[in-house]
Structure 1
Amino acid sequence: MMWKDKGQYSFSTCWNIKRHQTGSEMINEIRELGFRFVELNYNVTNELLSTIEPMIERGEIGVSSVHNTFPHVADPDYGTDSVLLGFDDEEKRQRSIDLLIRSAEYANRYGAKAVVVHPGEVPFDYNIDNELKKLYNEQGHESPAYTKLWGEMIERREAAAGHYLSRIGDSLEEVCDRIDAKGWDVSIGIETRSRCYQMPTLREAKTIFDRLQGARVGLWYDFGHGMMMERMGLYDNARDMEAIKDNVVGIHIHETVGLSDHWCPYVHSGDMEYFDRFLPIIAAVPVKVYELKAVCTPEEIEQSHELLLAKLAGLPA
């Protein structure tokens, strides 16, 4: 069945990429949901692109954005949970910059407006975020064990953040200069992240935008990740979004249930109010992408989108 036309809204291939061997089948399944635009995520391979590119050329699907590193790079050093643009190793940092430029080149070729990038993190010896989420779920965020470990994480994060932010800023400056030199109409969107040691927070993003005023870099506001980080104690979306609202170049629309993300807004949480704080940003931004997990059904996606449109229609003009 064909669902209602979703207009300017886009949909990430992360929803169904594991179900398909052929790119065109993956895109057609998304088109059946009523989406005319897709975000090609970082697991899209050259093989999948071989049947997607003809569809782009024929105008059967538009590309709103691509997600770095694109097409897929198997090396975890340049994956989605990496120091990436903040590497101290100059060779690795340059490779990260080159790969981001390559993603931007594909975005430009496909007529996409933005590249989504996970810019970096404060490195830890082990995945402290996993440990914290386990404690959060088992003992609660006010438990002594969670509070103690959270304090240790914050202390290390705050001590090292300035250094890594500066490296990320250097890298983004070079990326933007190179994109400008090539004349590409593509923005770089640095994404709010899903692990507490990853960057940027909304305030960290603001320091980057203040440094790179006028550059083609903005925030890629991932609402579900923002909700998770707020619950864990890293930042407050309603308070901090005021500082960055004019710098948002794109969004990932999804919601969390507890600390589990990529659910359909309003539908899976049953909370009809919390997500409303993001509505003004959804209304204002140029690139709006649903980023949902595979278990979300077409019916749930439709229901969530209709609820979202009704909420947006009720916003003051």
Structure 2
Amino acid sequence: MFTDKGEYSFSTCWNIKRHDTGRGMIEEIKELGFRRVELNYNVTRELLSTIEPMIEQGEIAVSSVHNTFPHVADPDYGTDSVLLGFDDETKRQRAIELLCGSIDYAHRYGAEAVVVHPGEVPFEDNIDARLKKLYHEFGKNSPEYRRLWGEMLSRREALSLVYTRKIGESLERVSDYIARKGYDVIVGIETRSRCYQMPTPQEAKTIIDGLKGAPVHLWYDFGHAMMMDRMGLYDSVKDAHALKSYIYGLHIHETLELSDHYCPYVHSGTDVFDDFLDIVRDAPLKVYELKAICKPEEIEESHNRIIRKMEALAQ
């Protein structure tokens, strides 16, 4: 029923909440036609106890793991935190150690990459949630939205360089760790889903350029980038193409307005994803990152459309 997905990988974020065992979770993904998985940040050691034998026996390959891995319950080191940019040196060192631990797992499983949400410009509250509420209620061009957006952008731009530098210093230590261990693993810094989070594509370029050949690359998350484009932070299509040579990995999904992790083409009913097809074609690592409501037949249809459209592009 489902085609072999070849080089494409699939994130466990799709079905992790439906399973009590790692084996059951991976088997369901395999039924979709995927030979490779990305183990996301909610994968626990308990789930790994039944996934690891599958890896060892060649039943499944791991393309990537998502920091912090395995799951760490402390929100200070979760996916929405300052993480590699902490002002507190003790906390920042702990974040670095946890990322190095994720890298150890990636090497152990033969994975190519570790995906990391490197940090953010800290705010007292979740200003992104307030902005999205105004976006939905009044629109992007409303005075209410523009006023709060201006406040957010002023602080973000004032502090971006400070946190870019801190993240870069942290990733330099991580890169030294990879070199000492002799690992063939890259770190992918991911475009994010909240307007105060880092990096934008241009911030990623600054960080990567500063590391001068270290195994740190841009991980382009299409859905996140499309949402940030709609909110006004950057141009998702222009920046993706301008920084194409920096991109190693992708999270493939699409958006409905400011909601993400939908199947490209299928849920939006548009061809806007066409703008990214050459990025998908050329990226070394391609991972679907879809939400639980995406049905198997929708995933199959979405993938088949991407493949057909890329074949047409090649012609």
What TM-score comes out, normalization by structure 2 length?
Answer: 0.99
Q: What is the alpha-carbon distance in structure 1 between the residues aligned to residue 223 and residue 140 of structure 2?
A: 18
Return the letter of the residue paired with 2:304: E
1:138-186 per-residue CA deviation (whole Å, 9 max, x = no partner) reads 1110111001000000000000110000000000011011101100000
CA distance in 2 between partners of 1:227 and 1:167 (Å):
26
Secondary structure in 1 matching 2:291: coil
2:178 counterpart of 1:182: no
Alignment of 1:211-222 (within 5 A): 211-222=210-221
RMSD of equivalent CA atoms = 0.8
For 2:26, the equivalent position in structure 1 comes to 27
C-alpha distance in structure 1 between counterparts of 2:165 and 2:64, whole Å: 26
1:245-276 per-position Cα deviation (integer Å, ceiling 9, x unaligned): 1011100000000000000000000011x111
Distance (Å, rounded) in 2 between the aligned partners of 1:62 and 1:210: 31
What's the counterpart of residue 307 of structure 1? 305
How far does residue 101 in structure 1 lie from its aligned partner after superposition? 0.4
SS at match of 1:315: helix
Question: Where does residue 78 of structure 2 map in the other structure?
Answer: 79
Q: Is the 8 A contact 2:10 2:288 kept in 1?
A: yes
SS of the counterpart of 1:5? coil
1:163 aligned partner: 162
Q: Which residue in 2 is equivalent to 1:293?
A: 291
What is the deviation of 1:316? 3.7
Amino acid of the structure 1 residue aligned with 2:54: M
Question: Does the CA-based 8 Å contact 1:250-1:288 persist in structure 2?
Answer: yes
Distance in 2 between residues matched to 1:316 and 1:17, nearest whole Å: 36
Match of 1:284 among 273, 279, 282: 282
Give the residue type in structure 1 aligned to 2:230.
R
User: Equivalences for 1:231-310 in 2 at 5 Å?
Assistant: 231-272=230-271, 274-310=272-308
SS in 2 for 1:204: helix
The answer to whether the 8 A contact 2:222-2:250 is kept is yes
Report the residue type matching 2:107 in the other structure. Answer: N
Distance 1:238 1:265 in 2: 15
Q: How far apart in 2 are the matches of 1:282 and 1:185?
A: 22
TM-score, with normalisation over the residues of structure 1? 0.98
Give distance in 2, aligned partners of 1:183 and 1:135. 49
Which residue is equivalent to 2:171?
172
Q: 2:240·2:279 contact (CA, 8 Å) conserved in 1?
A: no
- 8 Å CA contact 1:263–1:292 kept in 2: the answer is yes
Please say if 1:111 is aligned against 2:100.
Answer: no
For these two proteins, the number of residue pairs brought into alignment is 315
The question of whether the paired residues in 1 share the 8 Å contact of 2:241 and 2:279 is answered with no
The sequence identity of aligned pairs, in percent, is 70
In the other structure, the counterpart of 2:55 is 56
Partner amino acid, structure 2, of 1:282: V
Q: Which residue type is aligned with residue 24 of structure 1?
A: R
Q: Which moves more between the two structures, 233-242 or 80-89?
A: 233-242
Q: CA deviation at 1:68?
A: 0.1
Deviations, residues 72-115 of structure 1 (Å, cap 9, x unaligned)? 00000000000000001000000000000000000000000000
Paired residue for 1:127?
A: 126
Q: Secondary structure of the residue that 2:71 maps to in structure 1?
A: coil
Q: Conserved in 2, the CA contact under 8 Å of 1:112 and 1:186?
A: yes
Gaps of 5+ in 1: none
Counterpart contact for 1:83–1:123, Cα < 8 Å: yes
**Structure 1 stretches of 4+ moved >2 Å:** none
Residues 3 and 32 in structure 1, CA contact (< 8 A), matched pair in contact too: yes
